């Protein structure tokens, strides 16, 4: 790790050390908790929880393709809108919409030369491919396996968020902290609900 690689990590660590900077963690935990309650009362299901995992990978790949860490929050906003439209319009599938947009972003990123560094667009594209595989598996599996797979995917993405928070790469520190809390809370809840089903 070079000195340039360590600087964002130190900056992110110092930023989250301030009490006022904990808003992403608190907000992410509350958002994850609200989604967990929605799943518990039957308002959403495992397939809809898997959209959160897809959205997380979308945000990371999009930010890497654009080469802008600060693009993460607007990309998150876009996923929020697409998932909301999916709830409002039964014929609209946010998974395919996110996948279509992320392919366009990846092509744009490759055209602008974002194939390097390896931890940027290439690694994020590989992570997106894994998430797409999880989404396909969830569509084919019944409970409890689908729920366990989505929950494990969300918990693994929480670890992914911690890594990116520590390295200061790809997305902003606030987005990584928010996503980590959301993924951890929702992932644990999805696992518990799958085991209880």
pLDDT (tens digit per residue) in 62-104: 999 999 999 999 999 999 999 999 989 989 999 999 999 999 9
Residue 180 has pLDDT above 50, yes or no: yes
Q: Which residue has the tokens 């319009």?
A: 89
C-beta of residue 34 within 8 angstroms of C-beta of residue 185: no
Top mean-pLDDT range of 2-6, 139-143, 159-163: 159-163
- Helix (H) / strand (E) element for 91: namely none
Average pLDDT of the residues of the chain: 88
> Left, alpha or beta for 67 (phi > 0: left; psi -120 to 50: alpha)?
left
Percent of the chain whose predicted confidence (pLDDT) is above 90: 66
Q: What is the pTM of this model?
A: 0.86
Nearest to 48 by CA among 76, 10, 82: 82
Q: Each residue of 46-63: pLDDT tens digit?
A: 888 899 999 999 999 999
User: What's the mean pLDDT in 98-126?
Assistant: 92
- Helix (H) / strand (E) element for 55: namely helix 46-66
**How far are the Cα atoms of 67, 99, 138, 141, 145 from residue 83, in angstroms, in the given order?**
24, 12, 17, 22, 23
What distance in Å separates the CA atoms of residue 78 and residue 175, rounded to the nearest whole number? 14
Q: How confident is the model at residue 2 (pLDDT cuts 50, 70, 90)?
A: very low
């Amino acid at each position: 790790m070079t000195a340039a690689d360590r600087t964002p990590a130190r900056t992110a660590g110092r930023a989250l050390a301030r009490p006022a900077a904990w808003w992403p963690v608190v907000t992410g935990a509350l958002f994850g908790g609200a989604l967990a309650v929605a799943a518990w009362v039957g308002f959403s299901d495992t397939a809809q929880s898997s959209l959160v995992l897809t959205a997380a990978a979308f945000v990371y790949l999009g930010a890497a393709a654009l080469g802008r860490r600060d693009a993460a929050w607007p990309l998150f906003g876009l996923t929020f809108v697409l998932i909301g439209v999916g709830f409002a319009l039964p014929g609209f599938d946010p998974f395919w919409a996110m996948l279509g947009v992320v392919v366009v972003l990846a092509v744009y990123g490759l055209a602008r030369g974002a194939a390097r560094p390896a931890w940027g667009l290439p690694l994020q594209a590989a992570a997106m491919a894994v998430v797409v595989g999880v989404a396909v598996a969830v569509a084919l599996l019944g409970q409890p396996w689908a729920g366990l797979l989505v929950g494990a995917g969300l918990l693994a993405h929480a670890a992914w968020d911690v890594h990116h928070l520590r390295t200061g790469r790809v997305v902003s520190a606030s987005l990584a902290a928010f996503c980590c809390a959301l993924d951890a809370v929702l992932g644990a809840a999805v696992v518990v609900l799958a085991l209880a089903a």
